[in-house]
Structure 1
Amino acid sequence: MTAVLSADTCRTTAIAKVSGADLQVPLVQGGECSYANFDYAASAPALAQVTDRIAELLPTYASVHRGAGYASRISTLTYENARESVARFVNCADDQVVVFTRNTTDSLNLLAQCVPGSTVVLDVEHHANLLPWNDARIVTAADTIEETIERLIGELCTKPAALLAITGASNVTGEILPIARLADIAHRCGARILVDAAQLAPHRRIDLQECGVDYIAFSGHKLYAPFGAGVLVGRRDWLDEAQPYLAGGGAVREVTIESTEWACAPARHEAGSPNVLGAAAIATACETLHALDFDVIAEHEKALTAQLTDGLSAIESVSLVRLWNDAPDAVGIVTFTVDGFEAGEIAAFLSAEHGIGVRDGRFCAHPVLARLGLSGGAVRASLGLGSSSDDVTRLVDAVNILVSNQRDWNYAKTAGAWNPVPETRPFLGAADDNAGAAECV
């Protein structure tokens, strides 16, 4: 399947069918409307091709690698073929292997135990790429990418490091770093490079051989495959030399009472029964995205992002959040604040009265939000394959209603979260008094 879409088409319609595209949600003032999903950066809905593939596989779901039955053979082939699909998706080098994990966080924690030395990271990172490293050297990002790179060079050259762990695209603002250039810098300084591609992989083509990246991690649930699997792709030697991430069946070649002979990667780090359906979901998403053409995906997102940015910028009390003044590109994420309103209050209003889903809080990036003076959080609107121009118009219009003080409902903060008062919407059997009670960070 090859998508050929004009810029005008991309501006007005979704470019792929996703689960929930026809979802109708209740409004607090009564009635219902179609759901406008602006939370792709947290968890993207499943592609139709992914849900179809899972439905196809469920009748033959069985044990992987250790069964001779027909269903087990099918499941084993499905699992290993999924590894090949991921390898093609990112164009692995010969010395790189694909390890299936639970998510990006799991992938980064796995790699952290394999790194034979210190790791250099930026303060803009998601906590998943900030907390796992055993010997982390944190560099404060500057106001420009160019100065930030100079600071990284200074840190890498001052004291040898084993790894530079860097985001591909910020989960706060979507701004993209020049990973090929950073890979070259890391290698010249004697380090390897890991790219947290959780936000980048669903939006831009990644070619590991072309960009020279040593390790990459991403999650299925952000890649339109929310079935509990993630990926770590990278050079074999560190993975083969490290202790297994989990000790158990599947990670071994031979076990006696006196000794254990561990398998090589990827099996070395995939102990236990693997998530064959999750791996198949990721593989199907990879194949579907590749067929859509990433140039088309980028054009679609850039048009909608420009529409959203222009619309919000025209509202006097709205401020957009940026990390760098010179970022040349960004995935479809627009983060903003509104004078006089807490982020959680804005998100509650958008959901309750307009059926719009956004993310509010600090996006698991507390240090950089604090440095930007946003310890109270912000609102993040993120776009994806199912987003349309109509969705963007609804969001901009709703924010205009908010700042014009034309809300229909009252809102109160209880247990750290904003909720409409009274809450009239049903939550599919959930305890209404607990809805939204946990702090969103």
Structure 2
Amino acid sequence: MIGTDDRLTPTLPPAFERSDVAAPGSLAPLAQLADTGLEVPVLGGGRVRHVNLDVAASAPALAVVAEHVERVLPYYASVHRGTGYPSQQTTALVDQARAVVARHVGARDDDLVVFTRNTTDALNLLANAVPGDTVVLDIEHHANLLPWRDGARRVVVGRSSFAATLDAIDAELGRCPAALLTVTGASNVTGEVLPIGDLAGLAHSHGARLAVDGAQLLPHRRVDIAALGVDYLAFSGHKAYAPYGAGALVGRADWLDAAPPHLAGGGAVESVGIDDVSWKTGADRHEAGTPNVIGIVALARALAELERLGDDARTAHEHALTRRLHAGLAAQAGVRVIRGFDDLDDGLGIATVELDRGSIGLLAAALGAEHGISVRAGRFCAHPLFDRLATRSNGLRASLGAGTSVDDIDRFLAALAALIADGPAYAYDRAPAGWCPRVDDRPPLAFDLD
């Protein structure tokens, strides 16, 4: 059983009715990832195939992305103004990547694509450009909650239904003019997908613009900002199978051209004097310094590969695996899946659970150390939402992606059931950083950085 003073009732769930959830043959990985077939050590000296169910935090690179980066690296050079062949090719790659990103998200002809470090960086850039109040929901990841922490931020607390929440947003926008409504495209805690088109229409009816934190949604679903009426979209490469340190903010140019440069430095200026500076407009205004060429190219290549895989195929693959995951969790004793809204049926491959009793942290640690299964425990950088929905101090999240297979789901469900019933096979201690094996015989990685 998980826990010491607070143990779970040792009740094994019934056998999973797999046949009416999804056919195993149809649930092979949709794409090959750079970590496909990775074996990791487990306690006791063995090795097992790694099961990565922490994709919502950071996704491994697609194999084609890693291969593309390897091909590009020999030609890496400075962008713009370089006269050598590698520099010219690098400049062309960055320009092409900008066009690929714009195409993938359905950008309007006059939208800007500004490359950033990640979603957090992109939303902080946008926060410095908004000429007025911002309305935000309490369901947001901290990346879309903390940048607005000033007198111009107004928070709407979610209701039990999204219909009621939409009414509350409508009332808040009507109470006092706002320049921007900013929302997540999909919750990183519950996986619930918000009706972006409805939110865009509501914001525009009050004279506000809509920004979408697309970090979770974009790797799973195509987001067409022009068709949906989205004014700004922020997202990260590390969640979209391109973990090389680049993200993007895509959206309307006027606010961004009028905003202070995100960074002050070379490349963002037309001219510089001792006492004055003339800043550029467009994406260059906010991309000072040498860009993360490899990250930018990797992000564009990942989005192009997601297009090749096809929206229908990705959605069908994920829906089948998600149904299997939720059916298996429903069969587990003492486990509750967290939901945000009772009227949103569309969701990504994310399931966050809490236990009736016992330690989530210990459960997560044992899944990794004894079974080679990576999940996430905590409040998922969405503290206001988690604290409102959950009854315990933290939860456990399993998240799926293009590389997830039916075997991944089944191994997780079987390991979860065994740990809830019988507890870990090894002793663990609770340290400030979390639970860890009292004796960890797993060898460290042999990478040498010296």
**Counterpart residue type for residue 144 of structure 1:** S
Contact kept? 1:366, 1:375, Cα under 8 Å:
no
The residue number in structure 2 matching 1:97 is 112
Q: 1:326 deviation in Å? A: 1.0
Contact kept? 2:43, 2:369, Cα under 8 Å:
yes
Q: Residues of 1 paired with 2:424 and 2:128: CA distance?
A: 51
Q: 1:419 deviation in Å? A: 1.0
The residue number in structure 1 matching 2:362 is 345
Q: Would the alpha carbon gap of residues 205 and 220 (structure 1) be closer, same or farther in structure 2, given more than 3 Å must change?
A: same
Q: 1:95 deviation in Å? A: 2.2
Give the TM-score of the pair, scaled to structure 1: 0.94
The residue number in structure 1 matching 2:160 is 143
State which of 20, 40, 46 in structure 2 corresponds to 1:25: 40
Q: Would the alpha carbon gap of residues 375 and 313 (structure 1) be closer, same or farther in structure 2, given more than 3 Å must change?
A: closer
Structural RMSD (CA):
1.3
The CA deviation string for residues 100-124 of structure 1, in whole angstroms up to 9 with x for no partner, is: 0000000000000000001000001
Q: 1:374 deviation in Å? A: 4.5
Deviates further, 413-422 or 113-122: 413-422
**Counterpart residue type for residue 137 of structure 1:** R
Q: Residues of 2 paired with 1:427 and 1:180: CA distance?
A: 48
Q: 1:315 deviation in Å? A: 1.0
Contact kept? 2:77, 2:87, Cα under 8 Å:
yes
Does residue 41 (structure 1) correspond to residue 64 (structure 2)? The answer is no
Q: 1:339 deviation in Å? A: 2.6
Does residue 258 (structure 1) correspond to residue 275 (structure 2)? The answer is yes
**Counterpart residue type for residue 80 of structure 1:** D
Deviates further, 401-410 or 52-61: 401-410
The residue number in structure 2 matching 1:156 is 173
Q: Residues of 2 paired with 1:268 and 1:391: CA distance?
A: 45
**Counterpart residue type for residue 361 of structure 2:** G
State which of 194, 203, 214 in structure 1 corresponds to 2:220: 203
Q: Residues of 2 paired with 1:373 and 1:414: CA distance?
A: 24
Which stretches in structure 2 are left out of the alignment for 5+ residues?
A: 1-21
Does residue 391 (structure 1) correspond to residue 405 (structure 2)? The answer is no
What's the secondary structure of 2:278's corresponding residue?
A: strand
**Counterpart residue type for residue 250 of structure 2:** V
The CA deviation string for residues 8-42 of structure 1, in whole angstroms up to 9 with x for no partner, is: 57742001000111110111122110000001000
Q: Residues of 2 paired with 1:74 and 1:374: CA distance?
A: 55
Contact kept? 2:379, 2:395, Cα under 8 Å:
yes
The residue number in structure 1 matching 2:6 is none
Q: Residues of 2 paired with 1:415 and 1:243: CA distance?
A: 40
What's the secondary structure of 1:221's corresponding residue?
A: coil
Q: Residues of 1 paired with 2:220 and 2:25: CA distance?
A: 14
- Pairing 1:232-251 to 2, within 5 Å after superposition: 232-251=249-268
The CA deviation string for residues 122-147 of structure 1, in whole angstroms up to 9 with x for no partner, is: 00100110010142101100011111
Contact kept? 1:343, 1:376, Cα under 8 Å:
no
**Counterpart residue type for residue 24 of structure 1:** E
State which of 256, 259, 281 in structure 1 corresponds to 2:298: 281
Does residue 72 (structure 1) correspond to residue 126 (structure 2)? The answer is no
The residue number in structure 1 matching 2:209 is 192
Deviates further, 347-356 or 9-18: 9-18
**Counterpart residue type for residue 43 of structure 1:** S
The residue number in structure 1 matching 2:3 is none
Q: 1:376 deviation in Å? A: 1.6
Q: 1:65 deviation in Å? A: 0.9
Q: 1:258 deviation in Å? A: 3.0
State which of 178, 181, 184 in structure 2 corresponds to 1:167: 184
Q: 1:389 deviation in Å? A: 0.5
Deviates further, 374-383 or 65-74: 374-383
Contact kept? 1:23, 1:35, Cα under 8 Å:
yes
Contact kept? 1:342, 1:376, Cα under 8 Å:
no
**Counterpart residue type for residue 377 of structure 1:** N
The residue number in structure 1 matching 2:445 is 428
Structure with bigger RCO (C-alpha 8 Å, 6+ apart): 2
**Counterpart residue type for residue 88 of structure 2:** R
The CA deviation string for residues 411-432 of structure 1, in whole angstroms up to 9 with x for no partner, is: 22112401122211122159xx
The residue number in structure 2 matching 1:417 is 434
Contact kept? 2:338, 2:390, Cα under 8 Å:
no
The residue number in structure 1 matching 2:379 is 362
Contact kept? 1:11, 1:388, Cα under 8 Å:
no
The residue number in structure 2 matching 1:128 is 143
The CA deviation string for residues 362-384 of structure 1, in whole angstroms up to 9 with x for no partner, is: 10011111112456210000000
Q: Residues of 1 paired with 2:253 and 2:317: CA distance?
A: 36
Q: 1:49 deviation in Å? A: 1.1
What's the secondary structure of 1:218's corresponding residue?
A: strand
What's the secondary structure of 2:147's corresponding residue?
A: coil
The residue number in structure 1 matching 2:19 is none
Identity, % of aligned pairs? 51
Contact kept? 1:102, 1:230, Cα under 8 Å:
yes
The residue number in structure 2 matching 1:438 is none
Contact kept? 1:166, 1:196, Cα under 8 Å:
yes
Does residue 330 (structure 1) correspond to residue 347 (structure 2)? The answer is yes
**Counterpart residue type for residue 67 of structure 1:** G
The residue number in structure 1 matching 2:125 is 110
Q: Residues of 1 paired with 2:249 and 2:300: CA distance?
A: 13
**Counterpart residue type for residue 384 of structure 1:** G
The CA deviation string for residues 153-179 of structure 1, in whole angstroms up to 9 with x for no partner, is: 010111100000100000111100000
Q: 1:403 deviation in Å? A: 1.6
The CA deviation string for residues 181-210 of structure 1, in whole angstroms up to 9 with x for no partner, is: 100000001100000000000000111111
Contact kept? 2:161, 2:342, Cα under 8 Å:
yes
The residue number in structure 1 matching 2:12 is none
Which stretches in structure 1 are left out of the alignment for 5+ residues?
A: 1-6, 431-441
State which of 72, 87, 92 in structure 2 corresponds to 1:57: 72
**Counterpart residue type for residue 74 of structure 2:** P
Contact kept? 1:120, 1:156, Cα under 8 Å:
yes
